[in-house]
A and B are shown apart, each in its own frame.
Chain A
Amino acid sequence: MVRCSTGMLVSGCLSALTANAAADQDPKETIRQAITAMGGIENMRLIRATHTRFTSHVYLEHGSAELQGEIWQQCPDRFKQIVQINLDGKTGTVVYTVRGEDAWSILSGVQRQLDGLGRAELCATLFEEYVATLLPLLEDQRLTLTTVPVKAVNSRPAHGIRVALAKLPTVPDVTIFFDQETHLPVQRQRQRLNRLREDGVESVSEERISDYRTIDFRIDAEKRLHDAGIDTSDASLLAFLKKQVLSEAERARCQELITQLGDDSYAVRKEARKERPCSDRPRCHS
């Protein structure tokens, strides 16, 4: 309660101090600053789709669940989420896909076409992700941007921009808050379409965004190679890639092992499988 009151007080002071400045700022200028902070417009233009792997901790009414999954996303209208759920020792997989006007889920192998509020909520999620890529806020003429009052996010003042999709009022507006100092997006919020609070007030989903890291494919690639037990020195990488090309002798040995997989003799079959032609290369030199 005290934390809530303090938060409201901080928020109120910040709003009073910065409201005029925020109202004066062109929303597109806020977006440009954010794009620069996130790596620049040229870099952002290169990225049209993402593949993300994640882990998640979900709070349930009685307990919690651990999730892991991946999201393939190509804005504005393609999205696929594969989630593996671990609940009380039981595991299951859920897939959600949006492809243009189509949306479906697959739960325990059973596919179900999504319609009504389920589909609308999934499409609203996709719209939220679309506007979060920021570039459309400068380029998509269907979007209307409005500045909203500054508020505190993580006790720091944040500019807010409300984004509405003209001509499609069924898609809920998304409000993005940008840290006033770093200019990075720190919070998003929108109405939830498939839930209504008990008091009849619209339900709100809010996402706090943090732990920004600079993506460096070199570091990522080196980590992957280290994880695979491969040294990342120039000489080692050259040797590793050279090893991926089979010599004639290796091809012949590999083919021989594959043929032996179906040998009449159980002992030969067993030995061939033991040698595993595609996973134990050094033996193939022998």
Chain B
Amino acid sequence: MFGPAAVPLLSRATTNHDLDVSAAANELLQKACAESTITGPIPSASRLLADRRTPGATEVILAYLPAAPSTLLATVAQRALLDLSTIQGKPDPSFERTLANADPAVRAKAQTALELARRTASSNDCQQVFPKGIKFPFRRQVYHDDKKDREITVVDVQFYSQLPDSIFANPP
């Protein structure tokens, strides 16, 4: 599947003067973007590869980074690279070697991405965080004046250092 990989091409096509092309591109873009969410398979795959320190992960994520179809997915890839670049707080020699052996264009992009990831990690920009061992309640029962009002079951929870401002924006 092209999936999210086709997003940049489809985005350009949405402004095509041919209404048939732009309408179809818009429709396909919606579907492709649905796969580009933070809870989609791409962030999960890159996080797992970084967390497991899978051999070959650095090369694959480096190659993916310039092709990331959205800022959100690029941020996830940058964060994975940042995690792979150090081991127990010190630079990882194997990461340094991979970077040194990479194509100069890829290396330059990776260095820019790493710098950006470091800045993001130390700033208050939107960033998903993955604390280990957090306990979270998945069930809540609400009573009003001793009368059961509702039962809530949590399906999924994600943690962030900060959320994008746009989420809380007042619609025009």
Q: Which of B13-45 contact A (CB under 8 A)?
A: 13, 16, 18-21, 24-25, 28-29, 31-32, 39-45
B interface: dominant SS: mixed
Q: Which of B48-65 contact A (CB under 8 A)?
A: 48-49, 51-52, 54-57, 60-61, 63-64
Q: Quick check: B143 and A217 within 8 Å, CB to CB?
A: no
Q: Quick check: B41 and A240 within 8 Å, CB to CB?
A: yes
Q: Which of B119-172 contact A (CB under 8 A)?
A: 129-163, 167-171
Of the candidates B6, B42, B136, B171, the one whose C-beta lies within 8 Å of that of A213 is: B136
Of the candidates B43, B56, B151, the one whose C-beta lies within 8 Å of that of A56 is: B151
A208 interface residue per 8 A CB criterion: yes
B1 interface residue per 8 A CB criterion: yes
Of the candidates A206, A208, A230, A251, the one whose C-beta lies within 8 Å of that of B45 is: A230
Q: How far is the CA of A13 from the CA of B32 in the complex (A)?
A: 60
Known: A221-B47, A269-B20, A277-B6. A39 touches B139 (CB 8 A): no
Of the candidates A80, A106, A209, A250, the one whose C-beta lies within 8 Å of that of B168 is: A80
A222 interface residue per 8 A CB criterion: yes
Q: Which of A51, A79, A197 has the most CB of B within 10 A?
A: A51
Q: How far is the CA of A262 from the CA of B16 in the complex (A)?
A: 9
B102 interface residue per 8 A CB criterion: no
Name 21 interchain pairs, CB-CB below 8 A, sorted by A: A44-B134, A50-B159, A51-B163, A53-B154, A53-B157, A59-B149, A99-B168, A203-B144, A205-B143, A213-B136, A217-B47, A225-B45, A225-B48, A238-B57, A244-B5, A246-B6, A261-B24, A262-B19, A277-B6, A279-B28, A280-B2
15 other A-B residue contacts (CB within 8 Å) besides A74-B168, A237-B49, A261-B21: A47-B134, A49-B160, A50-B159, A51-B157, A59-B150, A98-B168, A192-B144, A207-B142, A224-B44, A225-B45, A232-B48, A238-B49, A242-B60, A277-B10, A284-B2
Contacts from B to A (Cβ < 8 Å): 1-7, 9-10, 13, 16, 18-21, 24-25, 28-29, 31-32, 39-49, 51-52, 54-57, 60-61, 63-64, 67, 129-163, 167-171
Contacts from A to B (Cβ < 8 Å): 37-40, 43-44, 46-59, 67, 72, 74, 78-80, 97-99, 102, 104, 106, 111, 184-185, 192, 195, 197, 203-218, 220-222, 224-225, 228, 230, 232, 234, 237-238, 240-246, 250-251, 254-255, 258-259, 261-262, 269, 272-273, 276-282, 284
Interchain residue pairs A-B with the least CB separation, the first 9: A262-B21, A278-B6, A262-B18, A221-B44, A211-B139, A43-B131, A39-B134, A281-B1, A49-B160
